[in-house]
A = this chain, B = another copy of it.
Amino acid sequence: MFTLLKTSSESSARRGQLLTAHGPVETPTFMPVGTQGTVKALSQQELWAMGFRLILGNTYHLHLRPGEPLIQRAGGLHGFITWNGAILTDSGGFQVFSLEDLRKITEEGVLFKSHIDGSEHFFSPEGVMDIQLALGSDILMAFDECAPHPSDHAYTRAAMERTHRWAVRCRDRWRQRRDQDPALYGQLFGIVQGGSYLDLRSESARAIADLDLPGIAIGGVSVGEPKETMFEVVAHTAPLLPADRPRYLMGVGTPEDLLDGVGEGIDMFDCVLPSRLGRNGSAYTSVGRINIKNARYSDDFRPVDPNCSEWCCREHSAAYIRHLYKSDEILASRVLSYHNMAFYGRLMAGIRAAIEDDRFLQFRRDFIARYRGGEDTPDE
């Protein structure tokens, strides 16, 4: 299902194509996050027009509301939300393990209470496969335990080993279901855990690779550890993964992170940053991230990013967008979410073209030189 089209001669960057039941996805790719069946503030048509062909849905949220039986009656998640591209669903593991006081973990699975109405639910590896198959996901993620950062070696090992046992159960259920019903098309990805411990990452990479799944994710990063640690883990782990399978770095990241991840051989990314920051008044530009709340933009009738030719910057000025943001207007979230997502889309398209031309490192240098030369504001 994954074709490696080109490998960089100067880095581990790869250009590939992931074939799904809903069309091809050019990699490296960034997946917009549509937690509840919508990428916040954007329409499916807008995402498609920006060039995205693979978006993410969230099993935990969609299971609780509206529930996979309803979505299945609607023709699966594609039919329910009207998206003709591909969909990856996460396993819900990250969410249910984050519930802390509201969940109970056993070897069988996790009993948890809904954040919406307090109702009790149980996620097992098998159940999570069934939910994702009911959703009609193109890519299913295995049910994993993501240890929080910091966790000690023993705890991290225990979580990792459970993740491995659960991955086997996921694979078995997924195979069994597909054997019974040839119409099921979803591909299962395994998840490598092991926290910031490189020995555990090696062990986990081996264990997950041995499952011979269509793709592998690196999980448990971007969970609070320092950025250097994250890339130490990625640089260590990525080369241990089979070269002929897509590699997905979960929950990452900033534009710099995407460039760094691609340089280590990552093919897929997802992150809420572009839409969340958009709703919070931050815009990515070719010279750095800016904060539209800043008073300097109140009288700035130039576009947020002169290098953006989308409607957000073609039609609207920083001053107008700032006014919309200060006035709590929905159009502010729309414009900035659109702008940021289009920025990510262009960045990935630029990365793919650069790898094709074997000039990825130059592309990254140029991007970073411009980006860091700008007025990137600290987190606000």
Contacts and interface: CB of A to CB of B under 8 A. Distances in A.
Contact of A329 (B36, B74, B316): B36
Contact of A331 (B38, B311, B323, B331): B38
Nearest to A37: B323
A223 interface: no
Interface stretch (A20-28, A42-50, A149-157, A201-209): A42-50
Q: How many copies does the complex hold?
A: 2
Interface string A43-78: 111000000000000000100011000100110000
A331 B65 contact: no
Nearest to A333: B330
Nearest to A82: B315
Contacts of A36: 323-324, 327, 329
A37 B320 contact: yes
Interface string A159-193: 00000000000000000000000000000000000
Interface in A92-145: none
Nearest to A42: B331
A331 B82 CA distance: 13
A38 B45 CA distance: 22
Contacts of A65: 323, 326-327
A319 interface: yes
Contacts of A245: none
Interface residues of A, number: 36
A40 interface: yes
Given A80-B319, A320-B82, A329 B40 contact: yes
Contacts of A299: 70, 73
A43 B40 CA distance: 16
Given A65-B326, A333-B330, A320 B40 contact: no
A57 to B, nearest CB: 12
Contacts of A317: 74, 80
A334 interface: yes
Given A41-B331, A74-B301, 14 more contacts: A37-B320, A38-B331, A40-B331, A42-B331, A65-B323, A66-B298, A66-B319, A66-B323, A66-B326, A80-B317, A80-B319, A82-B315, A330-B334, A334-B334
